[in-house]
Amino acid sequence: MGKAVARVCEKTSGVEITAGCDIHTDGSEKFPVYAKPGEVKEEFDVIIDFSHPSAFDGIIDCAVSTNTPAVICTTGLSDEQKAKMAEAAKSAPIFFSANMSIGINLLIDLACKAARLLENNFDIEIIEKHHNQKLDAPSGTALAIADAISESVSMSPEYVYDRHSVRQKRGKTEIGLHAVRGGTIVGEHDVIFAGTDEVIELKHSAASKEVFAVGAVKAAAFMKGKPAGMYSMKDLIKNS
């Protein structure tokens, strides 16, 4: 993703990468790369994070200590890390999204509208597919879809991740989440609404990682100069 962001920045006017952070500092990039955010010497306006939960603390601490906006795109964060992010947003501008694709966020909006209209009459299942190198399952995007749907309906849905160990009928308040890992699948998400004698499906497929990089760079431009607070794709889309 770092390389994808670099490619998008090269094509985007008014945007420049001044430095990068990576455990591999081999000097192959056109900009300096440091092992830790605190080592960066260059000036920067916004931080884009597409790394790993293990790097989260250093990145969020850098954002707070320098009062710099941070666009957090890393998934698989723990509840403690999400709580730390919310606390950091009290003193620094923090943008967070489990998926930086504009298309995915449109899918989430449509899924919420469908869930409200179909509530109590349709079962909801979410299937996500990713490449065989992805660490977290289900994906942060699948959980974001489920969370958004949960906030849109009157019931309190129960997330079910695995059905093979329990032999019982599906509950009416369940949202099933299923993960597929294989090959080089960039990312696919299906939201299935299954009712009596009819099925409605919403689907988004990403053909390359560029779509996420484009969203991240747009978010970075949007966040420059913003006051402290928590921001999301809803804010970006609303002000685009």
Q: In this structure, are residues 45 and 69 in contact, taking their beta carbons and an 8 Å threshold?
A: yes
CATH fold group of domain 2-96+209-238: Rossmann fold (3.40.50)
Residue 153 DSSP one-character state: S
Element (H or E) spanning 194, and its range? strand 187-195
Catalytic-role residue among 129, 130, 189, 218 = 130
Assessment of whether the complete model's pTM goes beyond 0.85: no
Based on the residue annotation, tell me whether 134 is a catalytic residue of this protein: yes
Catalytic-role residue among 24, 41, 134, 172 = 134
For the chain, domain boundaries: 2-96+209-238, 102-206
Tokens of 39: 């080592």
CATH number of 102-206: 3.30.360.10
Q: Please list the pLDDT of the chain residue by residue as tens digits (240 residues).
A: 889 999 999 999 999 999 999 888 777 788 999 988 889 999 999 999 998 899 999 999 999 999 999 999 988 899 999 999 999 999 999 999 888 998 998 999 999 999 999 999 999 999 999 999 998 899 989 999 999 999 999 999 999 998 888 788 999 999 999 999 999 999 999 999 999 999 999 999 999 889 999 999 999 999 999 999 999 988 988 887
Alpha-carbon distance 96 to 196, whole Å?
A: 37
- Please provide residue 213's backbone torsions phi and psi, each rounded to the nearest 5 degrees: -65, -40
